[in-house]
Structure 1
Amino acid sequence: MVRTDTASRLHAFNRFEIKYLVPQDQADELRAELRRHMDDDAHSGDGGYPITSVYYDTQHLKFYWEKVEGLKFRRKLRVRHYGTATDLTPESKVFVEIKQRVNRVTQKRRVSLSYRDALRLCSPEGYEPAGEVSSRERAFLDEVSTLVGELDLRPIVTTGYHREAWVGREADLGLRVTLDHRLRGRDRDFHLSSESVNQLTLPSRLSVLELKANERVPAWVTDLTARLSLDVVRISKYCQTVQAFGLAPRSVMHAADEVDAILSNGSDDANDSSGAAPAEPTTPNGVDDAPTRKGALTR
């Protein structure tokens, strides 16, 4: 049943996003400056939190190619879990998200469901909520079901990383900044609590800084990125993982000489002569200290 006055589990965000690559040796200076102007995100705690997502696409990677080709309207579907793999049960709350780009604005809509129901929603089985839902939530659930059914969507890759997050204060209330470390993923065994081995999809000495603003980026942020000589990059964690596993052509982020140029002083895990992202095994939470294994990633 649809009720317009029913509380909705649907959340929507519209904002601009700018991304940078941050070498590890600049991370502490960056954190210190961010904390001068911003507050820790309520969920971040002292050391941040893990995020794991499974991305859905067509057999021929429609969403991937829309991103690569820079279409003005594009979207992707994912199921996202905040927490460790050991925290996840069929009843755990996760988010089913549609993230889309309309010209320069990033829009994200998501609904919170149990992991069991999220998997049903994103499968041909389908999902019918028990009880009443708001009209907005019903429209979103129907959109997801339509995408899955009409495009024959299926899991393509899983991504994971550890995130630190800050939120703006006073005049910068619309600002959110995140720093993501140890980007990794896999191209099979898509259960979010799986203990399957992940591979790094970006050299471990690089983190991804994202600035998310409703209208404008404060001058102190642009001054900070300029002082640290951080360059704006177009990087998608989904596309990066697709490329790392050879499901589509590699980006320059997987070329050793390009990574060395970014790091300027070189990096052991960036010098893979195959041109692939380093195949460093990690646990599902990305917290073990296993040594780097050189070599190309294969299916």
Structure 2
Amino acid sequence: MTSLHSFNRYEIKYLMPSDRVPELRRELVARMDADSHGGDGGYGVWSTYYDTRDLRFYWEKIEGLKFRRKLRLRHYGDRNDVTDDTTVHVEIKQRVNRVTQKRRAALPYHLARDLCDGRRMVDHEPGRTAFLEEVLELVSVLDLRPVAMTGYQREAYVGRDADVGLRVTLDHRVRGRDRDFHFAAEAENRLIVPARLSVVEFKADERVPYWLTDLAARMNLSIVRVSKYCQSVEAFGRVPRSIFHIPDSETVEV
């Protein structure tokens, strides 16, 4: 069984000291609702990213191409609980000028791996064929393979009333690894963003409301061009660190 979702949105990213998160959280809960999928501590987000041998998708991001895309498998929750039958998402995330577009299909993990690693079509619902064929063509023609994994703990808030469609996420303890790409592999993950920093994203269907941009200005949040995928590739020495790399302040394994 698959479920296909597609949407467009504008995204703005910030870095902020983790010790200021409670202040931001207080402002958000006054105007937004907590994501129903997360408990008090939020939820885990784990992604395996695919790229070419020469890291085509990485370089398209660094060079700021107006059209670029990437392929990933994503799991929400505790990665240690993942089995062959766990639902994961096969996602193509692409950027067209300033708009971020995401398309994804939910599949059991073993079918997602058959599609992306085994490079063969899998059983699916009618209406999902075009997307899955696009994924299969990407991995086959470009010879994609897993390159990096990222994971973090996410708090998410959704807009209400006039702010329907607004979403704010706070990602903490951003980790990664460059091998053992099965979600449940007994492998160590290293912090790829210093623990003292959290990644904050504002996501909106049309525009970010003024109260939120005013809040960002009041808290002195600075817009950054951070990519967790690129950060992971650079953290493990696959390429020289770019001008967008968040420098290490410590080396911690978790």
> TM-score interval w.r.t. the shorter chain?
over 0.9
**Distance between the aligned counterparts of 1:89 and 1:23, measured in 2?**
35
**Which of 43, 64, 72 is the matching residue for 1:70?**
64
**In structure 2, what is the equivalent of residue 255 of structure 1?**
247
**Which of 5, 11, 15 is the matching residue for 2:9?**
15
4+ aligned runs moved over 3 Å, structure 1 = 251-256
| Residue-by-residue CA offset, 1:236-274 (whole Å, 9 max, x unaligned) | 000000010011121353435xxxxxxxxxxxxx1xxxx
1:196 is aligned to 2:187: yes
**Distance between the aligned counterparts of 1:254 and 1:47, measured in 2?**
25
What is the Cα deviation at residue 166 of structure 1? 0.2
What is the Cα deviation at residue 8 of structure 1? 6.6
The question of whether the paired residues in 1 share the 8 Å contact of 2:16 and 2:200 is answered with yes
**Distance between the aligned counterparts of 1:175 and 1:241, measured in 2?**
27
1:280 is aligned to 2:214: no
**In structure 1, what is the equivalent of residue 175 of structure 2?**
184
**In structure 1, what is the equivalent of residue 37 of structure 2?**
43
One-letter code of the match for 1:178? Answer: T
What is the Cα deviation at residue 138 of structure 1? 0.5
**Distance between the aligned counterparts of 2:90 and 2:136, measured in 1?**
11
Q: Which is further off, 117-126 or 55-64?
A: 117-126
| Residue-by-residue CA offset, 1:157-205 (whole Å, 9 max, x unaligned) | 0100000000000000010000000111000111111120111101000
**Distance between the aligned counterparts of 1:73 and 1:126, measured in 2?**
27
Relative to structure 1, the CA distance from residue 8 to residue 201 in structure 2 (aligned partners, 3 Å threshold; closer, same or farther) is closer
One-letter code of the match for 1:88? Answer: V
TM-score normalized by structure 1?
0.82
**In structure 1, what is the equivalent of residue 22 of structure 2?**
28
The question of whether the paired residues in 2 share the 8 Å contact of 1:98 and 1:110 is answered with yes
2:29 alignment partner, SS class: helix
One-letter code of the match for 1:255? Answer: P
1:54 is aligned to 2:48: yes
1:173 is aligned to 2:164: yes
One-letter code of the match for 1:217? Answer: V
The question of whether the paired residues in 1 share the 8 Å contact of 2:80 and 2:183 is answered with no
The question of whether the paired residues in 2 share the 8 Å contact of 1:8 and 1:133 is answered with no
Among the aligned pairs, what percent are the same residue? 60
What is the Cα deviation at residue 280 of structure 1? 1.1
**In structure 2, what is the equivalent of residue 120 of structure 1?**
114
Structure 2: gaps of 5 or more residues: none
**Which of 244, 263, 267 is the matching residue for 2:235?**
244
What is the Cα deviation at residue 44 of structure 1? 1.5
**Which of 178, 198, 203 is the matching residue for 1:207?**
198
The question of whether the paired residues in 2 share the 8 Å contact of 1:56 and 1:155 is answered with yes
TM-score normalized by structure 2?
0.97
One-letter code of the match for 1:20? Answer: Y
**Distance between the aligned counterparts of 2:167 and 2:21, measured in 1?**
17
| Residue-by-residue CA offset, 1:106-159 (whole Å, 9 max, x unaligned) | 0000000000000011024413215x421xx11000000000000000000010
Work out which structure has the larger RCO, using CA pairs closer than 8 Å and 6 or more positions apart in sequence: 2
One-letter code of the match for 2:3? Answer: R
- Structure having the larger proportion of residues in strand: 2
Structure whose alpha-carbon radius of gyration is higher: 1
**Distance between the aligned counterparts of 1:186 and 1:196, measured in 2?**
8
